[in-house]
Amino acid sequence: MGSLDGRGPIALTSALRWWLVAAVTAVGSFVAAVVYWRLRFFFRDPQRIPPADPRAVVASADGFVTYVKRVEAGRVPFAVKKGRTIPLSEFTDVVHAEPGSPDASGYLIGIYMSEYSVHRNRSPIAGSVVFRRHRGADPFNRSMARVGANLIARHSPYDEGCDYLLANERLTIGVEHAGGAVATVTQIADLWVDRIVAHVEVGDTLDRGEQYGMIRFGSQCDVFLPDSLVSEITVSPGQYVFAGKTTVALSPVSVAQSPLAARPASARAPEEVHS
Q: Which residues are catalytic?
A: 219
- Please state, in angstroms and as integers, the Cα–Cα distance from residue 104 to each residue in 12, 37, 97, 254, following that order: 75, 41, 5, 20
Positive or negative: CA dihedral 99, 102, 104, 108: positive
- Angle made by CA atoms 72, 74, 79, in degrees to the nearest 5: 70
Residue 272 and residue 132 in contact, taking contact as beta carbons nearer than 8 Å: yes
CA distance 64 to 94: 25
CA distance 192 to 201: 25
- State the DSSP H helix or E strand holding residue 88, giving kind and residue range, or none if neither: helix 88-92
User: Residue 240's Cα: distance from chain center in Å?
Assistant: 12
136: phi then psi, degrees, rounded to nearest 5: -75, 170
User: Residue 184's Cα: distance from chain center in Å?
Assistant: 12
- Angle made by CA atoms 142, 237, 113, in degrees to the nearest 5: 45
CA distance 167 to 140: 7
Burial class (CB in 10 A: 0-12, 13-18, 19+), 135: middle
